[in-house]
Amino acid sequence: MADVHNMTVAELAAGLQNKDFSAVEVATRFLARTGGNPHNAFLDINSEVTLAQAQASDAKIAAGTAGPLEGVPIAHKDIFVTKDFATTAGSKMLTDYRSPFDATVVSKLREAGMVTLGKLNCDEFAMGSANENSAYGAVTNPWDTTCIPGGSSGGSAAAVAARLAPAATGTDTGGSIRQPAAFCGITGIKPTYGRASRYGMVAFASSLDQAGPMARSAEDCALLLSAMCGPDLDRDSTSLNVKNEDFSRLLAKPAGDKPLATAGKDGGPLKIGHPREWLGGGSQVDFDRHAPARRSEGTNPQVNKRIEEALAHYKSLGAELVEVSLPQAQLSIPVYYIVCAAEASSNLSRFDGVKFGHRAKEFTDLADMYQRTRSEGFGDEVKRRIMIGSYVLSHGYYDAYYLQAQKIRRMIANDFQAAFAQCDVIAGPVAPTTPWKLGDKADDPVANYLADIFTLPASLAGLPCMSIPVGFGDMGMPVGMQLIGNYLQEAQLLNVAHRFQQVTNFHEARPEGV
Residues involved in catalysis: 77, 152, 176
Spatial separation of the C-alpha atoms in residues 350 and 354, rounded to whole Å: 9
Q: Directed axis angle between helix 23-33 and helix 47-63, to 10°?
A: 160
Sequence letter at residue 40:
N
Q: Is 344 exposed, middle or buried (0-12, 13-18, 19+ CB in 10 A)?
A: buried
- Closest by CA position to 109, among listed 71, 156, 52: 71
Largest Cα separation within the chain, whole Å, is 74
Q: Which segments of 78-178 are extended strands (E)?
A: 115-120, 167-172
Q: Is the sign of the CA dihedral 76, 513, 305, 498 positive or negative? A: negative
- Can you give 188-217 as a three-state secondary structure string? EEECCCCCCCCCCECCCCCCCCEEEEEECC
Cross-strand partners of 76: 119
Sequence letter at residue 211:
A
HSE-CB of 261 using CA atoms within 13 angstroms? 9
- Closest by CA position to 79, among listed 117, 45, 37, 122: 122
Contacts of 50 (CB under 8 A, 6+ apart): 27, 31, 73, 115, 116, 117, 118
- How far, rounded to the nearest angstrom, does the alpha carbon of residue 301 sit from its chain's CA centroid? 25
CB atoms within 10 A of CB 295: 14
